[in-house]
Amino acid sequence: MSARLGRVIRTDVISDDLWALIEPVMPTSRRRGRPWNDHRRTLEGIIWRFRTGSPWRDLPEQFGPWQSVAERHLRWSKDQTYTRLFAAVRADLDDQGRDLLGLLSVDSTSVRAHQHAAGARPGARTGG
């Protein structure tokens, strides 16, 4: 952990073992122009943003410019990078005989149901 301006920011959330597992499926820098920031630091910034629920603009400087991290998140969402990451983790867990569902968690405080999911009978007029 590192202290900055009186706040404690948790870093190194991706263990070396996990990074060794997912690094091979990360995109390579085969593009022209400026080279990418470090993938691990960027992924930790994405994890920090979703763990805290903060806006992209509040991303601590240690993760790089917030615009770069947000753009990389969007790019990885579109190019199936996250799908490859989760597949690599799932395959490793299967090899170890561990259950993936034991690692998953959904914070129900931020899950909202649509108003029509409140228990009305099917076909009933709900006014919506």
Whether 87 maps to a domain, the answer reads yes
pLDDT at 67: 95
Using 50 as the pLDDT threshold, list the residues of the chain that sit under it: 1-8
pLDDT of amino acid 52: 87
pLDDT at residue 8, as a whole number: 47
Does the residue 124 lie in any domain? no
Contact 14, 44 (CB under 8 A): yes
Any domain includes 109: no
pLDDT of residue 76: 94
Domain total in the chain: 1
The span from the CA of 82 to the CA of 76, in Å, is: 6
Q: Quick check: is 80 in a domain?
A: yes
Domain that holds residue 91: 14-28+37-102
- Is this prediction's pTM over 0.75? no
The pLDDT assigned to 81 comes to: 93
